[in-house]
Amino acid sequence: MNDDMTPDSVPAAPPVLSEPPALTVTPARRGRARRAVLAVLPVVLVLGAVGGAAAYTKATVDNADRTVATKVWGGGSGAHSKDPAGDVGRGRADTELSKLLLPVPDGYRLGPDVGEYGNDSEVSGKKATAQMKESGRGIAGKERRELDKRIDRLHVQGIAQRSYISGYGDLMVVHIVKMKDKKAVHDIYTFQTELMDTYGGFRKGPKVDGHKKARCFQEPTTSKVKLDGLSCVAYDGELFVTVDAYGTKPFSAPDVADLVKDQLDHIESPGEYV
């Protein structure tokens, strides 16, 4: 388990963030277009901070050894019991944010390192903010200063992540981002869900029982890939949550949704173990 809370480096930002969007508009509209870009970029940068790790998750599963029989997901929405204090096998719980991550359920263990952050770690708000500002390189002058101000107004307080792996190699990664700006949290959720509704051929995923502020999307259908996956996003006040899961087919999306429910229930009652 990697307990380093201040890694020396961070995953590279998605390529789309390294170049400012081309503004092929008339001079009269250029100012409005630039303001729109600056308004949405902080949202994209937050998603990029967790999206790079999600891509690494899929690559890890793609390259995994699949010498054992496939097993559908299970173990979600189990009976509640108290958090086992000091049991590092369940995951760290030494900070306010890490306590909100779902303790490792029965049938799972802490998974592989995800990028440079390890498998159970937290990045401070200061470092996460610096990362997002660096990802906005390519924008200069007044626009860059305005972007930095917008990022500062998010008041990112930290990003916690944990990876989980089943005995059969199915992999799940959870990220929790905490920001003081609740409107920004809602905007990020709206942006991500609308993007997945519109692009990429994602299939509608199962509902997360008891959580209307959560949505899941299943990977596009393809016969060439032996893996399937589910990506879920949710928000709760100051928290933006992502869950990405991948496994060999047949893949039980409803069972993953149960684990998402457990994670969101745990955020509401972190003193309970699911």
Q: What are phi and psi of 242, to 5 degrees?
A: -125, 140
- Helical (H) or strand (E) element with 74: none
Tokens 């590092």, located at residue: 88
What is the pTM for the complete model shown? Answer: 0.74
Q: Tell me: the pLDDT tens digits for 154-203?
A: 899 999 999 999 887 889 999 999 999 999 899 889 988 988 898 878 89
At residue 157, the pLDDT reads 94
In this predicted model, which residue has the larger pLDDT, 152 or 53? 152
Q: pLDDT category, 73, cuts 50, 70, 90? A: very low
Using a 10 angstrom Cβ sphere, with 0-12 exposed, 13-18 middle and 19 or more buried, the burial of residue 6 is exposed
Q: pLDDT category, 18, cuts 50, 70, 90? A: very low
Tokens standing for 102?
């779902």
Q: CB–CB of 54/242 below 8 Å? A: yes
Tokens 């199915």, located at residue: 170
At residue 242, the pLDDT reads 92
Length of the chain: 274
Tokens 């010498």, located at residue: 67
- Nearest of 70, 76, 64 to residue 104 by alpha carbon: 76
Alpha-carbon torsion angle 221, 217, 111, 69, nearest 10: -40
Q: Tell me: the pLDDT tens digits for 219-258?
A: 887 767 678 889 999 999 999 999 999 988 778 889 999 9
Share of the chain above pLDDT 70, in %: 66
Task: Work out the mean pLDDT of the chain and round it to a whole number.
Answer: 75
Q: Is the dihedral of CA 79, 81, 87, 93 positive or negative?
A: positive
| Distance of alpha carbon 61 from alpha carbon 239, whole angstroms | 27
Asked if the peptide bond before residue 220 counts as cis, ω within 30 degrees of 0, the response is no
Distances (CA, A) of 235 to 123, 157, 171, 174, 183: 19, 15, 22, 13, 11
- Nearest of 52, 64, 49 to residue 171 by alpha carbon: 64
Alpha-carbon torsion angle 142, 148, 152, 154, nearest 10: 100
